[in-house]
Amino acid sequence: MPHDINDLRFFVTITESGSLAEAARRLDVTPSAVSQRLQQLELHLGTQLAHRSTRRFSLTEEGELFHAGAVALLADLGALVDTVRERSGDVAGTLHVCGPLGFGRHYLAGAIADFHTQHPKLMVSLTLSDVVSAAQANRFDLIVHIGSLLDSSMVAYPIAPNSRLVCASPRYLARRTAPREPKELAQHDCIVLRENHEDVTLWRFRKRRTEAAVRVPAILSTNDGEVAREWALEGKGVIVRSEWDVAESLASGRLVRLLPDWRLPDADVVALIASRAGLSARVKLFLSFLQARFKPQPPWRQ
């Protein structure tokens, strides 16, 4: 057995960091100190846990086994501590949350600040990223996600409704006639957002029982939603954006909704959690807080 629980936390940290240099940054020590501690752990266990070089770090078969066991043991320990604290009415520890960049800045950051005010003993770590791999997902207690779900192993809890809307600015519409049917978008200047590994130039519409799919010409593309919206506001072209992001611009008249009788696939806001079983008290509290915050209507529909 390792000397203490800190050995397990150490090994999980360096594994999830992907390199000794990144692990050293997260642990606030030197890379040589990380390497030395890893060597001591391997000597104690009597086996090599990882292959490492200056740029590469990968686990051996024994390292994979040890990492999986360490993650499970730390999760069980965390759940046990949470259960004891919950019985005493105390919620503490660290809550690791991930969310999309734009939505995170506009809505999630403020929600976390208010949640922390209610639970000051709780530490909250927020990571904003529009791309989260399956391996990275394991680092978080809860991931706020918008749009289609790619990882079916995670459980999705509803947070707020969110539609996708086709929009353009009055400046653009002054020089181009607004489309009356989705197929007409093929002749328009379109701005596309690269996200969630979707086919971003294929826009799918539905009107009652009628479906339409159109391949749009992407005159501009970006992986940043705010950039796409700004381009549209400047009159560069037509965009498809989440309701939460364009509601204010639509209300002020800076953007105009196109094809209002046609619907695109919804992109509801959900919370992704690894499993239904064994949710800690802090995760349950934060999930309930988020769900209540966006009811009965989210801010973009008020």
Q: Which residues, 6+ apart, have CB-to-CB distance to 269 below 8 Å?
A: 103, 144, 145, 146, 158, 159, 160, 161, 162, 244, 294, 298
Considering the chain, tell me which residue range(s) the CATH 1.10.10.10 domain(s) occupy.
5-81
Token couple for 283:
């995760």
| Mean pLDDT over each residue of the chain, to the nearest integer | 87
pLDDT tens for 168-196 read 999 999 999 999 999 999 999 999 998 76
CATH 1.10.10.10 holds for 91-160+268-301: no
Averaging pLDDT over each range in 42-46, 98-102, 273-277, which range is the top one?
98-102
- Is the model's pLDDT at 3 over the cut of 70? no
pTM over the 0.85 mark: no
State the pLDDT at residue 151: 60
Q: d(Cα 150, Cα 142) in Å, to the nearest integer?
A: 16
Phi, psi of 283 (to 5 degrees): -70, -45
Considering the chain, tell me which residue range(s) the CATH 3.40.190.290 domain(s) occupy.
164-258
Pick the CATH number of 164-258 from 3.40.190.290, 2.40.50.140, 3.30.540.10, 2.30.30.30: 3.40.190.290
CATH number given to 5-81:
1.10.10.10
Considering the chain, tell me which residue range(s) the CATH 3.40.190.10 domain(s) occupy.
91-160+268-301
